Every structure is written in C-alpha cells, then in structure tokens.
Amino acid sequence: MFVPFGIKDALDIFLVALFLYYVYRLMKMSGVFNLFVGVLAFMAIWVIITHILDLPLMGAILDKLVSVGAIILVILFQDEIRRFLVDIGSHRRWQFFARYFSLQKNPEKDTGYLTAIVLACMNMSRTKTGALIVIENGISLETYEKTGEKINAEIKTRLIENIFFKNSPLHDGAMIIAYGKIRSTGCVLPLSHNAHIPKELGLRHRAALGISQETDAKAIVVSEETGYISVAYQGQLNLRLSPESLEQFLSSPV
C-alpha cells in the first residue's frame, strides 16, 4: 500500500539523523561510547522480549527497569547532558539571530595577542616549564575564573612565563584568557574521565581535555616532563605541536 511521503517527513528523518549523529559524536568525545552502546543494546533487548517474543515475566522485569530509565540515564550521563545543554545555549550559535535583530554587536576579535601566547609556550617548552592556558571562545568561562585569582592583565609573553615559573605562587592551575586579557590564573578545571588518554599524560592534559569537553575553549598544555606542547579542543587532544602548528591552530576559526 502506498504511503504518502512529503517534505515534512524528509525533514523529520533529517532532524532525527542529525540528533543521533550529534549524540554519537558527543559520546565518542566523552569516552563513554561503550556505555552508550550498552544502553542501546538494553533497549533493543527490551523491545525484542516485550513486543516480539512477548515473554510476560521477563518483560515485566524489564518494564520496571525502563520505567526508571530516565532517572538512571540522567545519573549516568549527567556530564554529557550538561555539556549538550551548555553547547546549545552558547551565544555563538545564536549570533545570526542577534545580528539580524540588532540585539548585539559582533566586532572582529583582535587576535594579535596569540603571538605572545605562542612565544611564551615556545620558551616554556625549552625550559620544560609546565603550563595550562585556556582561551575562551563562545561559551563563557566565568564559572572557572572564580576558582582562581582574578588579575585582568594585558597578555604579555614575560608575564605568562613569570606566572608559570616553578616558584611562582600561581603556577599551579590554569590561566584563563578572554577578550584579549588574562582574566584569572590558578583556576581549577574539570578533569576528563576518558579512558583512552595515554597513561604518560598527567593532570594538566586531563584538565585541558575536560574543559574542552564541557566548553568550546581551546586549552594549551606545556608538559613539565617532556616540554611538548599540546592543545585540547572539542574533546580531542592534539599532541606534540610545533610553535608554527600551535599558532596556526589558535588562529583558525572555531
């Protein structure tokens, strides 16, 4: 029998496919993809037992579990759900509407300070000085700024190096840069629980990956053990970058 298929149906399928792809990418970046697959497998087993095989006893047990499944999923995927909502609420996703209705100005960002950051990372790499620098993009990092010391200083190469100097009281924690200023130092960041992070990488790399999973920030890490420069962005770690690659990465649009 012929089933009518229109533009609305095509749009519905496209949106579902887009949603599933986004969820897949989010779970893949968060390192809980196997857990997500396990949830899907459980749902498939529930459908087979209750609707296909029609096994009443086993179906009743699974029905009870599914009835509280929403609460269980919120507990299991609370970090991923939070990141999903924060990402949707990011003002950079609504800039088109804001510009259209003239609700906010969208001036070009001054990226001249990136050279100072790259030079500082290059110098700290030579001396194997550990550092963690987070550059804000569309999602505000104000919550994390409050965990450190606010300085609101101009971005200078020597200042960055002095802050991360081993005997400096602010060398532990992360430096947060926003609006062309060093906003805070010694900040506490969320740690990533991704099981695929190489064991030789330390807490700085986990913190960089963690903030990149929860926000759209770019996090630069200078390893204290090896001096290698790495960048975390969108839940991915880019290891052993040269100063040229770092500058190109930071200059690229988000």
Q: 228-245: per-residue pLDDT in tens?
A: 999 999 888 999 999 999
**Which one has a higher pLDDT value, 44 or 126?**
126
Is the pLDDT confidence value at 107 over 50? no
Q: Which two tokens stand for residue 21?
A: 């792809």
How many residues does the structure list for the chain? 254
What pLDDT is stored for residue 128 in this prediction? 93
- The pLDDT-based confidence of 105 (bands split at 50, 70, 90) is very low
Report for 103-107, 176-180, 213-217: range of highest mean pLDDT: 176-180
Q: State how far the alpha carbon of 228 is from the alpha carbons of 132, 223, 252, in Å.
A: 12, 5, 21
Of residues 246, 218, 227, the one with CA closest to residue 123? 227
User: For all residues of the chain together, what is the average pLDDT?
Assistant: 81
Q: Is the pLDDT of residue 110 over 90?
A: no
Residue 42: closest CA among 61, 26, 25 = 61
Q: Where is mean pLDDT largest: 42-51, 56-65, 156-165?
A: 156-165
- Is the pLDDT at 103 greater than 50? The verdict is no
Q: How many CB atoms neighbour CB 40 within 10 A?
A: 9
- Which candidate, 13, 63, 28, places its Cα nearest to that of 43? 63
Residue showing tokens 């606010």: 150
More confident residue, 181 or 138: 181
Q: What integer pLDDT is reported at residue 184 of this predicted model?
A: 95
What would the pLDDT profile of 9-57 be if each residue is shown by its tens digit?
888 888 888 887 877 776 666 556 677 777 778 888 888 888 888 888 8
Mean local confidence (pLDDT), 97-103: 48
Q: How confident is the model at residue 175 (pLDDT cuts 50, 70, 90)?
A: very high
Mean pLDDT for the stretch of residues 126-152:
91
Which pLDDT score, from 0 to 100, does residue 208 have?
Answer: 94
